Amino acid sequence: MFKKSHSRALTKRHKVAIAGVATLGAATLAFSAVPGNAETTTSEAASSAKVAYSSEQLKGLRSDVTEQLAGVSLQSQAAEAAAAKKVAAKAASEAAAKKKAAAEAAAKKKAAAEAAAKKKAEQERKAKEAASRSAKRAVVKAAAPKTYANNLDGWIKESLDIMKSKGIPGTYNGLYRNIIRESSGNPNAINNWDVNAVNGTPSIGLLQIIKPTFDAYHVSGTPFSQYDPVANIVASANYAADKYGSIDNVNGAY
């Protein structure tokens, strides 16, 4: 008996096969009904025997029906295989679609991550550049040399900045007061009449310092000359700090 799912597959050929089976059954019954002593039967029985199938005919009919049934079975199997193949193809298509969708989603996520990383890197680069420009401006600003007037006021102010960086005590008033007393503000002043001059080491410059003292208390970064106003002031203030605590404590010849 065929499964319900195959009921729709009963084609014309299926019907022929079923009819053949029925005919075969009927013929078999007819052949069995013919008596062995056909010669003693009535004329009506003889007439019936003539229309009955012979054993050869029944064999051929049986073979044909068997072939038809085999064909029906093959068609049914083919239909089942085609249906299974269709289902498998659909499943494969759906799996491929899901895989494609997943790949697209992953690609979008990766692209978004790369874009975010690129944006962050660009922001960091700009921040570094801004910091670098700021640092360069600060360096340029710090490196800009401070200018001083080329006069007594400018010499004292420059000397005070150097003294501050070297830790040498002294004030504007202390320097100015001693300079005016010693040289009247003349960086080229020289004493050729005191004991130092007699000994060959005359007092020179704004604070009238002798060469041995200048050499001993010279401050690095200033010219090595007693006639240079700034070098003279700083060396003299350095000497006064060592001997008197500060140039401010000097109120006469030192």
Which CATH number do you get for residue 181? 1.10.530.10
Among 21-30, 167-176, 214-223, 241-250, the range scoring the smallest mean pLDDT is 21-30
DSSP 165-176: HHT----HHHHH
Phi-psi region of 157 (alpha: psi -120 to 50; beta: other; left: phi over 0): alpha
User: pLDDT digit string (tens) for 208-233?
Assistant: 999 999 999 999 999 999 999 999 99
Domain count, the chain: 2
* pLDDT score for 157: 98
- β-pair partners for 204: 190, 209
Count CB-CB contacts under 10 A for residue 183: 22
> pLDDT of 87-137, one tens digit each?
888 888 899 898 999 999 999 999 999 999 999 999 999 888 888 887 777
Q: How far, in Å, CA of 249 to CA of 54, rounded?
A: 159
Single residue among 70, 87, 104 that ends a domain in this structure: 87
User: By residue range, what is the domain housing residue 58?
Assistant: 4-87
User: Could you tell me if residue 189 is inside a domain?
Assistant: yes
What integer pLDDT is reported at residue 58 of this predicted model?
A: 62
Is pLDDT at 35 greater than 50 in this prediction? no
Q: In this predicted structure, what is the pLDDT of residue 39?
A: 44
Q: Do residue 161 and residue 237 come from a single domain?
A: yes
State the residue for tokens 């039967």. Answer: 41
* In a shared domain, residues 78 and 157: no
Query: How many C-beta atoms lie closer than 10 Å to residue 33's C-beta?
Result: 11
Residue 65 covered by a domain: yes
